[in-house]
Amino acid sequence: MEDRQLLFRTHGGAMLINPYTTDRTVFEKERIQAAEKAAIAKEAASMITDNDSIIIASGTTVQAMAKEIQPIGNLTVVTSALNVAVQLIKHPNIEILQLGGILRKSSTSVAGLYAEQILSDFFCSKLFLGVDGIDLEFGLTTTNAQEAHLNRKMMAASQKVVVLADSSKFGKRGFGKICGIEEVDRIITDGGVPQHTVKALEHLGVKVTVV
């Protein structure tokens, strides 16, 4: 039945909804859940403090966050995403460190060894991370294995990990695993996320903000 996409196997059972994510371009994804992403972005941007140093990963929700950033004082941003850097370049008091590497055209971001090596020289207060899937058993995922590996390096270079994910990402799995749920400090999402999922996340020690 899974071959006919009528049921999808999960650990200990089966489900009717397809839990697997596919790699789509940012130009497609930015139109999906746009209002929810904007609200999540505004909440995330409010977490940035004076003279902060942060990492912003790739994705349409973190790109929306970049549009909301109005820094007081100086801000240092390390990012893998070209679209994030373009949004921030207009601010004279934001120093942007653009990671280098292999450019993924679908995400307009870089991945690979060069980007990972640069990250080993820095430590930032917060990582703002976009994901393609959040599964309570499998953890956080993206559709690309190289990007997932870079995300793990970003986590190692950050004091706190803040995940920006609209409610459509829950119950989904991508090809590349980033980390387990318990490795995340905070998830910012929208009101479409089920309450039992919020409680399960909080039980695992994750702070959940619903906007």
pLDDT at res. 6: 44
* CA separation, residue 164 to residues 3, 44, 117, 205 (Å): 32, 8, 25, 17
93 three-state secondary structure? coil
pLDDT at res. 106: 83
Backbone angles phi, psi at 158, to 5 degrees: -130, 145
Closest CA to 127 of 196, 59, 31: 59
* CA separation, residue 13 to residues 18, 140, 171 (Å): 13, 20, 14
Could you give the percent of the chain with pLDDT greater than 90?
Answer: 82
Overall average pLDDT of the 171-181 stretch: 96
Q: Using one digit for the tens of pLDDT, what is the confidence trace for 88-107? A: 999 999 999 999 999 998 88
pLDDT at res. 25: 60
| pLDDT(121) > 80 | yes
Q: Which residues are CB-contacts of 174 (< 8 A; sequence separation ≥ 6)? A: 20, 21, 131, 132, 133, 141, 142, 143, 144, 148
Q: Using one digit for the tens of pLDDT, what is the confidence trace for 33-46? A: 899 999 999 999 99
pLDDT at res. 107: 84
Closest CA to 129 of 185, 75, 207: 185
Domains and CATH numbers, the chain: 23-210 (3.40.50.1360)
Distance of CA 206 to the CA centre of its chain: 15
pLDDT at res. 105: 87
* Segment holding 75, helix H or strand E: strand 75-79
| pLDDT(8) > 50 | no
Overall average pLDDT of the 124-142 stretch: 97
Using a 10 angstrom Cβ sphere, with 0-12 exposed, 13-18 middle and 19 or more buried, the burial of residue 13 is exposed
Overall average pLDDT of the 47-71 stretch: 96
**Residue 74 tokens, joined:** 């100086």
Which residue is listed with tokens 């996320």? 193
In degrees to the nearest 10, what's the CA dihedral of 166, 57, 198, 27? 10
169 band by pLDDT with thresholds 50, 70 and 90: very high
How far apart (Å, rounded) are the C-alpha atoms in residues 33 and 46?
A: 20
| pLDDT(85) > 80 | yes
